[in-house]
Each structure stands twice: as C-alpha cells, then as structure tokens.
Copies of this chain bind each other. A is one copy, B any other.
Amino acid sequence: MNVPETVRAAMRTTNDLFNSQVIGKQDVNELDRVYTRNARILPPGAAMIEGREQVKAFWQGAIKALGLKSAKLTTVDAEALGDRVFEIGRADLLVGSVDTVTVKYVVQWKQEEGDWKWHVDIWNANQ
C-alpha cells in the first residue's frame, strides 16, 4: 500500500461518516461529504447512477428497502494511482435486526474541497 497515512486517515474519516451518519442516522445529506459531486455508483440490480443528488436518492431508498442498520467498511488494499486512490474493500452490513451480509467493493477516491471522497463506487455481495 503506497497511500500516505494522512490520506488513509482521511479515508477512514469518510468511511466512518458513511456508517455513523448516513446509515446510522439515515441522514443522506451527509453524502455531500462522502461522494464527489460527479460521483458514479454501480449498484447490483440497477443501472449505473451518476451525480450526487441521484446517488442520495438511491441511498434514501436502499437504506429503507434493505433495513440497513450499519455498514462497517474495511480497506483490504489501497494504492495511489495518479492523484486518485484505488481501494478494494470489504463491507460488513447489518440488515434488519440480525442478518449480516458481507459485501466487497472497489472505490476510486478523489480529493474534492480538501476531503477524500468516493468518486466511483461498485460493489456486490459475497453470498
């Protein structure tokens, strides 16, 4: 992993925001601090979604539809590529009251307004 510790700390801050605020408090407006303005997400079971407002609408619906209670994100590998970071990660989701689901993902990170944010985000479930 060739990503400086300062950047890795910023990435952890963003990931923690997603879990504690977006999922934990169901506050999708906090996605302003998680995704870049022109972010693209590629969710399973849907076409690619472009732009932060559309991404917010997706998560608003998905959190309720899935009964998503928490999403613990763990970096498996991260490499600096040009001015971006390419991350492979693992998400441990709590869905409903007892179900846990393991998801893996690739995120391309980009710095925007001083913060490191998700610029491209694709995932799928292990099961």
Contact = CB atoms under 8 A, between A and B. Distances in A.
Nearest to A48: B104
Given A82-B82, A124-B122, A104 B42 contact: yes
- A: contact size bracket: 20 to 34
A77 to B, nearest CB: 8
Interface in A29-77: 40, 42-48, 76
A40 B88 contact: yes
Contacts of A106: 42, 106, 108, 120, 122
A86 B104 contact: no
A88 B48 contact: yes
A104 to B, nearest CB: 5
Residue among A48, A104, A106 with most chain B CB within 10 A: A106
